[in-house]
Structure 1
Amino acid sequence: MNPFLQQLQSAGVVGAGGAGFPIYMKLNCHVDTLIANGAECEPLLNKDQFLMLQDSQALIKGMEMVMAQVGASRGIIGIKKKNSQTITTLRPLLPASISILEMEDTYPAGDEVELVYRATGQRIPAGGLPKDIGIVVNNVESLINVYWASQDKPVTETMVTVHGEVERPFTARLPVGMRYADAIALAGRITCDDYVIIEGGPMMGSVTRDVFKPLTKTSSGLLILKAQSRVAKIKERSDAQAVKIARSACDQCGQCTALCPRALLGYPVDPRKAMRAALMADTNHAQAAQPCCGCNLCTMWSCPEGADPQRICRLAKQGLGAQNLMRSPQQLQANTLQVHPLKAYRGVATSRLMRRLEVLDYYQRPAEYLQNFPVVKQVSISLQQHIGRPAESIVEVGQQVKKGDMVARAAADSLSVAMHASIDGQVISVSDQIVIEGTGE
């Protein structure tokens, strides 16, 4: 591993778009094109827009560093046209090697496969990776963190939007390890009695009621929604309930497949067949779920019967994996079709999607940037915030640490990254999390 990649590993840089894949490993390749994903297609989240506005130079320098590492001759930043302020800010700063792709406000514009196709006209091979066609894709926050890592500033914060049933929605850079309850408290009072927390966005985010969970490097949003809201009720269904609804309500209308973004790109995914598999326990039909990316459009938008095709696809994939029946990339690619001729006309506008999700009223109250907030008194730094082996603690109870100090090193000879203190304080507990009690005023 070269010194630059070692620096990224030591600084704890991971994919901030959700997957948490260690960047040092992702950049250990040679490609022609780097795509910075700033599409931010999840409704209500706007953290990437603030990042690109405030850290414009860091984004561009981070892109140039990554392009030099992977040998890319061009860089592309994907941004929705509606974010005109971001585009206006970035454009005069760009070198000749980097351009902006202005995107329509549709969902899921920020899906990696969708973004690559829109930016280059190429399709990532089914079951493959962007590097297979000479491309690397990174979230803009990851690329900004790359730059700061080169300046010896490790990842200690994450940009998060807090929205929904709160008095003052906001977006802010918050310390990694901050409790959900403390983050939500910055938004004032919660404006409903019974609520759930959506970790991420309303489409692909997961639901929890645990306010003591800590923020991680991949945290992007905390949405407070009424427990009886449409989004909450769908996400809180059990797997058994989803299967029961599929068996009783699905009429095989095919809308889930007709509007599936991956199917429209020609990938061999067919949620309708996966729903049929739930009825018939048919392996061949279940295999049609394998290329599903989990965007959740079929469940939240397409299905007229209130079924949950995305959940059924996930369960089908779990079953295929357990039985060792997953198709190989070669088999998937052999079944890939041409891009659907009506693809351009079947995009789902985010404004219409928000209405269906019953979150449009929240959108009328923007989550403004919150720069100043009280000192965080305690954080819990999880040792497993990334794909791969957990980091290994190097601190002891009672030890004093400063913000930015390494508290856990990357596991040796493994896919792993380091963790760092996000506040000044004293270590009070070491387990699978390192708890630090703050000493700042």
Structure 2
Amino acid sequence: MDPLLKQVQDGGVIGAGGAGFPTYVKLDCQVDLVLANGAECEPLLYKDQVLMQRWADELFGGMLLAMKQVGASRGVIGIKKKNTDTIAILQATLPESLELFLMEDVYPAGDEVEMVYEVTGKRIPSGGLPKEIGVMVNNIESFVNLFRASKGIPVTETMVTVHGEVVRPYTAWLPVGISYQQAIDLAGGITCDDFVVVEGGPMMGSVTEDLTQPVTKISSGLLVIPRESRIARFKMRSEEDMLRIGKSACDQCSLCTSMCPRGLLGYPIQPHLAMRGLQASGENHLSYTLAAQACSGCNLCTMWACPEGLDPSRVCGITKRDLRDSNQLLSPQQLQAQTVDVHPLREYRGVPTKRLTRRLELSEYALKKAQFIQFDELLQANRQQNRVQPVSITQVRIPLSQHIGKPAAVVVKVGDSVKKGQLIGKADAEALSVSVHASIDGKVTAVNNVVVIERN
């Protein structure tokens, strides 16, 4: 394996969000353009802005390494025009071989397909990858981690925004393996009685009530919201209820399709036909359900477009699952054959983030930015506020699988003493896999699919 790719694999670098695709695989190609996705279009999240403002040199370093590796002549950072403070910081030290691409404040500007089209004027083939049109895309944190891996520094922490119904929203580097409860407690605690937590952004994130879950390399946001909030009601509706309501109430107005970002780009996605599929059977059923395959899961149809309060996005997701289970998915070539021209009104149908934030009932939270704070300062502030029972990070639970592909193979045993950054799970050299490292000093107290480390 190429030396840089090996460093990135051994350093445990993956996409810091989404499914966590291993970065070393993305670097194993030859393309013309390296694109850093700094759009950060999910309301309330602030991690990418922090990274660009405070670790610009490492971002640039990671991008330049990636460009050299893939033979790219052009490096671009996509960022929204509204982030003038971040833009000024980047421009002050921007290398000549890199450039900024300024984007409108709309959702979902941060979608990979949307950003590639905006920057290049080219569409990623339906069902295909950016490299097929000469582009490699990564998020901001992954480029920072790439640079660090080239210096022998593995991934042991992740940048996370904690926001919503908390005393002090913040954005910070958190050790991989601390619990959601600890991360939220560091925000001063929860300010409502009945709540749930959104993992990720309010649009594409999922809801959980299990605060014992560990922060992982792909964690980007923990948003505490009331159980009765609009977001929670949608995301917690049972699959049975959601399908039953959709079947009975959808009037085929087609607004979901009219506003679909992927559909406006010409991809073969029509959420209203997926909804129609709930009422059909036989040959018609398959033709309707196949209209869901190109869905990106951006959730705009559900949280913005549908006037009936239905959930076309989730119907599309379930439909894709069922098509996959029955081996009925179309091939990329078949999908591409159904792709049409970009809609002439696409640029006028972008959804402004401020309006989306109001629709999501998040405007009150958005008034308070989750500013960056050092982890040690978070702990100190918590000790001062909670003198009786302050947060103490005495244990981490680190999963051996935090990414797409094969889990790392554990290389430690119960009773071993480890240091922060020490290898605890080794990547499988013959599979899609990355290594995993200790995030604190301590002793290994349990080993299974998760390595538990307790401070001495």
- Mark yes or no: TM-score above 0.5: yes
Match of 1:421 in 2: 438
The one-letter code of the counterpart of 1:423 is I
Task: Give the match for residue 410 of structure 1.
Answer: 427
- Structure 1 residue identity aligned to 2:315: I
**Alignment partners' CA distance in 2, 1:340 and 1:186:** 46
The corresponding residue for 1:350 is 353
1:373 is aligned to 378
Q: What is the aligned partner in structure 2 of residue 33 from structure 1?
A: 33
CA contact (8 A) 1:204 1:294 kept: yes
Q: Distance in 1 between matches of 2:322 and 2:371?
A: 43
Residue matched to 1:341:
344
Deviation at 1:190, TM superposition (A): 0.7
1:55: Cα distance to partner? Answer: 0.5
Report if aligned partners of 1:269, 1:289 keep a CA contact under 8 Å in 2. yes
Q: Once the 2 structures are TM-superposed, how far is the Cα of residue 18 of structure 1 from its aligned partner? A: 1.7
User: Corresponding residue for 1:400?
Assistant: 417
Equivalent position to 1:303, from 288, 301, 306: 306
SS in 2 for 1:408: strand
| Contact 1:242 1:308 survives alignment (8 Å) | yes
SS in 1 for 2:28: coil
Q: Distance in 1 between matches of 2:95 and 2:378?
A: 36
Output the amino acid matched with 1:258.
S
Task: Say which SS state the counterpart of residue 378 (structure 2) adopts.
Answer: coil
Query: 1:417 & 1:201 partners in 2: Cα distance?
Result: 25
Cα distance in structure 1, aligned partners of 2:243 and 2:34: 41
1:75-134 Cα deviation digits (max 9, x unpaired): 010001111111100113122221101111100000000000011111000010000000
Q: Match of 1:62? A: 62
Question: What is the alpha-carbon distance in structure 2 between the residues aligned to residue 70 and residue 242 of structure 1?
Answer: 45
**Partner residue, 1:319:** 322
Mapped partners of 1:134, 1:100: distance in 2: 18
Counterpart of 2:401 in structure 1 is 384
Identify the residue that residue 331 of structure 2 maps to in structure 1: 328
Greater shift in the superposed pair: 363-372 or 193-202: 363-372
- Alpha carbons 1:264, 1:339 under 8 Å: kept: yes
Residues 376, 423 of structure 1: 8 Å contact kept? no
Which position in structure 1 is the counterpart of 2:16? 16
C-alpha distance in 2 between matches for 1:421 and 1:64: 28
Provide the rounded CA distance (Å) in 2 between the counterparts of 1:63 and 1:353. 32
Q: Deviations over 1:185-213 (max 9, x none)?
A: 01112111110000001000000000100
CA–CA distance in structure 1, aligned partners of residues 207 and 444 of structure 2: 30
Task: Give the count of matched residue pairs.
Answer: 439
Give the Cα separation in 1 of the matches to 2:429 and 2:82: 45
Structure 2 match to 1:431: 448
SS, match of residue 173 in structure 2? strand
Please list the CA deviations of residues 280-312 of structure 1 after superposition, one character each: whole Å capped at 9, or x if unmatched: 140100000000000000000000000000011
Q: What is the Cα deviation at residue 412 of structure 1?
A: 3.3
Distance 2:135 2:14 in 1: 18
Q: Which letter does structure 2 place at the counterpart of 1:45?
A: L
User: Shift in Å at residue 40 of structure 1?
Assistant: 0.5
- Please say if residues 50 and 369 of structure 1, whose CA atoms lie closer than 8 Å, have aligned partners that are also in contact: yes
Question: Is 1:87 paired with 2:87?
Answer: yes
CA drift of 1:52 comes to: 0.7
Cα drift, residue 17 of structure 1: 2.9
Shift of 1:397: 0.7
Instruction: Report the 3-state secondary structure (helix = DSSP H, G, I; strand = E; otherwise coil) of the residue aligned with 1:368.
Output: coil
Distance 2:371 2:49 in 1: 11
Q: Secondary structure at the match of 1:76?
A: strand
Cα displacement (A) at 1:370? 1.6
CA RMSD of aligned residues (A): 0.8
Distance, in Å, in 2 between the alignment partners of 1:4 and 1:310 is 39
Query: Is the Cα–Cα contact under 8 Å of residues 397 and 450 in structure 2 kept in the other structure?
Result: yes
User: Alpha-carbon deviation of 1:245?
Assistant: 1.1
**1:288 and 2:291 are equivalent in the alignment:** yes
- Post-superposition shift, 1:278? 1.0
Give the equivalent residue in structure 2 for 1:205.
Answer: 205
| Residues 246 and 279 in structure 1, CA contact (< 8 A), matched pair in contact too | no
Shift of 1:11: 0.3
Question: Structure 1 stretch 46-55 or stretch 315-324: which is displaced more?
Answer: 315-324
SS at match of 1:373: helix
Aligned to 1:73: 73
Question: Partner letter of residue 85 of structure 1?
Answer: D
Q: Tell me if the contact between 2:8 and 2:146 (Cα under 8 Å) persists in the aligned partners.
A: yes
Structure 2's unaligned 5+ residue stretches are 380-391
Q: Which residue of 1 aligns with 2:237?
A: 237
Report the secondary structure of 2:224's partner residue: strand
Aligned partner of 1:125 in structure 2 is 125
Question: What is the rounded CA distance, in whole Å, between the counterparts of 1:141 and 1:232 in structure 2?
Answer: 28
Displacement after TM superposition at 1:183 (Å): 0.4
Question: Which residue identity lines up with residue 176 of structure 1 in the other structure?
Answer: V
For structure 1, list consecutive stretches of 5 or more residues without a partner in the other structure: none
Contact 1:127 1:328 in 2 (8 A): yes
Aligned to 2:221: 221
SS of alignment partner, residue 369 of structure 1: coil
- The one-letter code matched in structure 2 to 1:302 is A
Per the alignment, residue 267 of structure 1 pairs with 267
- 8 Å Cα contact 2:17/2:217 also seen in 1: no
1:165 and 1:190 in contact (8 A); partners too: yes
Structure 2: distance between partners of 1:424 and 1:325: 49
